[in-house]
Structure 1
Amino acid sequence: MSDFSFAPAEYSPTGMPQYDGNPLIECLPRILSDIDVVRRVGNLPKKPDDAERALEPKLRGHGINRMKDIVVPFEIHLRLEDLFSQLIRYGYTGRNPLLASTVRYRLPSSAEVRGHGFMSSAETLTLIGLSGMGKTTALNSIARLYPQVISHSQYKEQIFIETQVVWLKIECPHDGSLRGFCVAFFAALDSALGIEKYSRKGAAGNSISVMLQHISQLCKTFFIGALIIDEMQHLCSSRGGQDREKLLNFFVTLSNDAGVPLVYVGTNAMLPLFSGVLRNARRAAGMGPIAFDRFSEDDPFWAHLVSQLWAYDWTTSRAPLSDELLSKIYDLSQGNTDFLAKLLMLAQRHVIWEDIDSITPAVLQQVYDNQMRLLHKPIEALRSGDPLQIADFEDMMPTKDQIAQMMNYDLARRADRSHLSLLTQASIAPVSEYEDKDAPKVASRPLVPVEDGVVKKAHFIKEKDVQTQLEQHGWVDKDATW
């Protein structure tokens, strides 16, 4: 069943000419100011008082779990809310249900749809974040600013009976399979609508192509405002890459033909998905990617976040947050919000169980050594700052470093191809074409083998394999791969 009840449509003009006159937009909540976003996105549960800290240890242990519900909004939350607001509203400008082109575009018959004049206004928002940095929590908080389902009955004295799904969130299947995606979509739609109808379309007997057609049509039928696709990095593990390419192509089709805005969410490990095909990269960069990278130690937002969490202290003797403690906390969490929350929660439980007065740097180190062993390798990699160590954990690498690594790989691949091209040219062209007596001598290693400043000349035999002859001339390592 859905977590959200149907909200009856109430229409209010926005003051923006491209929005007004469109019931799908006028029924949405008003566009929020930054102050309203901070108040509504942030979540600070009740802090423990003296009476709660005087309870027996077992009860205080239950109170520590309230720290999991803390959401401290930052500037990146404001930017994300602003772009999500624009994504949904502008995506509806091309799907005004009062226009004849929209009525025709919703027809299930492809023959009737051709030439209907529909122009998609859908954009794509990409949310990239290190594992544990709270990107999914932030997006969930922002999506909940909107009713998930809105029921229309009448608009400006016109009968207008429609069910509008403002947003729909699904997770990529763990194996990145097309069938798994289809099943997840139908289940999410049923959950939003509070019914058990469309999940049956994911039965094993239905072909994938038919299910994809159903998904496209349902997106049109329910005017889905934004399709949020979480855990996109799972597509990188799909077998053979065939389902991955088909699914990415289907996302493009949804955006173009169904006019559905997309929100890609995942760790930095998903970046290679968009490095090979231009239209995928172009779509992913539609509204500019938002990156949830870890905090630096001197970031004032980091100190603010730690101080907010530090106020939730269930120990009997509350220790003030000193510079020494702040430094130790960063060293053991490396600016990752999930590591931070785990460290503080485990430390409080340790203090309560062992009947220690308060949290100290020594207590934090002991908790890290004994109870966070599984996280030692990624944390030590982050602490080292060595890109090679961090690269062992793709979902921990900062976004800019991940992109730089992809670019370096592409440049190396191009250099290899250029090297092979020069080798081949040198073997068939006259020496005079490569020899420049007036050119200054270059000390760096040349791309092709030289002898006394002149490119070695070689004659290839057509009947023999080129690779074998290159190896015989010593121009390429036989173990090298191109």
Structure 2
Amino acid sequence: MKPSYEKACYNKTGMPQYDGNPLIEALPHILSDVEVVRGIGHMPPKPDAAELQLEPKLRGHGINRLRDVVVPLEIHLELEDGFSQLIRYGYTGRNPFSPETVRYRHPKKSGAERGGFKSSANIMTLIGLSGMGKTTALDSIAKLYPQVIRHSKYGNRIFIETQVVWLKIESPHDGSLGGFCAAFFSSLDNALGIAKYSDSVARRPSISVMLNSIIQLCKAFYIGAIIIDEMQHLKSSHKGNDREKLLNFFVTLSNDAGVPLVYVGTNAMLPLFSGVLRNARRAVGMGEISFDRFSETSPFWEHLVQRLWEYDWTGSGEPLTDELSAKIYDLTQGNTDFLVKLLMLAQRYVITENLPGITTRVLQRVYDNQMRMLHKPIEALRSGDPQQIDDFEDMMPTKDQISKMMNYDLTRRAKRADLKLFLNEPLVIEEPRPKPKSRTVVAVNKPSDAHLPSGADLEEELLSRGWIDEDPVW
């Protein structure tokens, strides 16, 4: 992969905690909302008159451009602002001219790694339903920054360093430490345009050696932020011990190496942080940004549907009516990935069957015949029943997932402490019951005496046989 190095160009920010730090001054200027919208929005060419005259099969290829549409929404602005602060403030504790930073990067003896170094790194958590565009949004925002910056001179000082602004790593599907290490080395090699660190995995060093190498590389290249995608993979891992070690290692990266982290995943990853306080505390360091599905009346949903509707390869020019909008929502339940799939399949069906345009009947037919694998999750979302949605954990709204997690933890604590106060129920103090009198045990002479007639009253039979007292004290 060809590296995309940029030569450092330093600009003051006007913020006293940032100025004087070449790692921050080399970053692009802090963007306004308008600049963010222009930077992350992507509207590929709409079909023109010439394209609409092409053969149906060729127009079918054009429909794929719908996948590339990125419509900036309010949540994108929130995400960009958080990412901007995360990287810049994370560098404040790693000014390369600070004596503490020099000691932490070049320890002279064991145990002196930190040498007064105090991490300014934080963690941002991006969670949401599967198919809501989390990864696409974050990729667009990360690309607003150069991935690698070459430094040579800062003012009158020689400063020959390579700065890696961000790395993106996908969580290993098996939750293993070795898988994470391999993914890190591969991502770093891709950013630098070399094949050096990935080769070290082939030599099969120990996990502890690889983890230590990662920490040293984070320091050496001044890595600005590590984006860890698909965090829910760790929850489904069968290697629970590795999973805990990996979560603890993330804390070490943030505390000892001073690297900010971005956790990205579906709502199924939330239980990862419920058991260990420091993991949960760090995970919400800069708050959590949630990509939940849109409501039908959301103006952002209406805007998104309208912008996608404008990409029409059928040539019908059919306007987006209220009836069509309602049908689209009913068949997608506010999920952006389902929305794109539905519109693409509907256009292909219209073109293939040579129909006049997209109608509610066409949408229903496409949903019934070509989206059958999505029926159960969509029906669960449509029902609004938490029990049905719970069957598809990565589809559960964030607030419901957190509520479920908290209720489970509360119940567990109540059982352990044997206190109903945790469940907000009144604590009833019962009067002590008198000790019952001992009962007389009567020997059974014949085995048949132990059998009671079918339909007999149990208490009467026991009394008649003298097996219990007539007036027991309960």
Q: TM (normalized to structure 2)? A: 0.89
**1:367 aligned partner:** 366
Alignment RMSD, CA only? 1.9
Distance 1:130 1:390 in 2: 11
Q: 1:48 to 1:112 in 2, by over 3 A?
A: same
**2:338 aligned partner:** 339
**1:134 aligned partner:** 133
Q: 1:110 to 1:342 in 2, by over 3 A?
A: farther
Distance 1:82 1:445 in 2: 46
Contact 2:105/2:113 (8 A) holds in 1: no
In the TM superposition, what is the alpha-carbon distance from 1:148 to its structure 2 partner? 0.1
In the TM superposition, what is the alpha-carbon distance from 1:415 to its structure 2 partner? 2.7
**1:76 aligned partner:** 75
- Alignment of structure 1 residues 193-232 onto 2, 5 Å: 193-203=192-202, 205-232=204-231
Q: 1:11 to 1:420 in 2, by over 3 A?
A: closer
In the TM superposition, what is the alpha-carbon distance from 1:410 to its structure 2 partner? 1.3
Distance 2:435 2:341 in 1: 65
Equivalent position amino acid for 1:214 in 2: S
- Identify unmatched segments of 5+ residues in structure 1: 423-443, 459-482
**1:150 aligned partner:** 149
**2:93 aligned partner:** 94
Contact 2:274/2:280 (8 A) holds in 1: yes
Equivalent position amino acid for 1:195 in 2: I
In the TM superposition, what is the alpha-carbon distance from 1:346 to its structure 2 partner? 0.4
Residues 310-319 or 410-419, more deviating: 410-419
Q: 1:223 to 1:115 in 2, by over 3 A?
A: closer
Q: TM (normalized to structure 1)? A: 0.87
Name the larger-Rg structure. 2
Contact 1:175/1:234 (8 A) holds in 2: yes
| Per-residue deviation, residues 309-354 of structure 1 (Å, max 9, x unmatched) | 0000000312100000000000000000000000000000000111
Equivalent position amino acid for 1:136 in 2: T
Distance 1:219 1:105 in 2: 11
In the TM superposition, what is the alpha-carbon distance from 1:445 to its structure 2 partner? 9.6
Distance 2:306 2:320 in 1: 7
Contact 1:101/1:117 (8 A) holds in 2: yes
In the TM superposition, what is the alpha-carbon distance from 1:108 to its structure 2 partner? 5.4
Equivalent position amino acid for 1:25 in 2: I
- Identify unmatched segments of 5+ residues in structure 2: 437-474
- The answer to whether structure 1 residue 163 and structure 2 residue 158 are counterparts is no
Equivalent position amino acid for 1:74 in 2: L
| Per-residue deviation, residues 274-303 of structure 1 (Å, max 9, x unmatched) | 101110001001000000000000111101
Distance 1:197 1:179 in 2: 17
Equivalent position amino acid for 1:318 in 2: G
Contact 1:22/1:96 (8 A) holds in 2: yes
Equivalent position amino acid for 2:154 in 1: Y
Contact 2:175/2:242 (8 A) holds in 1: yes
Contact 1:120/1:258 (8 A) holds in 2: yes
Identity over aligned pairs, percent: 72
In the TM superposition, what is the alpha-carbon distance from 1:418 to its structure 2 partner? 3.8
**1:478 aligned partner:** none
In the TM superposition, what is the alpha-carbon distance from 1:110 to its structure 2 partner? 5.3
Q: 1:174 to 1:239 in 2, by over 3 A?
A: same
Distance 2:108 2:271 in 1: 36
Q: Per the alignment, in what secondary structure is the counterpart of residue 265 of structure 1?
A: strand
**1:272 aligned partner:** 271
Contact 1:172/1:235 (8 A) holds in 2: yes
In the TM superposition, what is the alpha-carbon distance from 1:419 to its structure 2 partner? 3.5
Q: 1:385 to 1:110 in 2, by over 3 A?
A: farther
**1:313 aligned partner:** 312
Distance 2:420 2:69 in 1: 58
Distance 1:197 1:100 in 2: 30
Q: 1:112 to 1:333 in 2, by over 3 A?
A: same
Q: 4+ runs of 1 displaced by more than 6 Å?
A: 444-448
Distance 1:268 1:6 in 2: 35
Distance 1:132 1:110 in 2: 49
| Per-residue deviation, residues 59-97 of structure 1 (Å, max 9, x unmatched) | 100100000110011111001000100000000000000
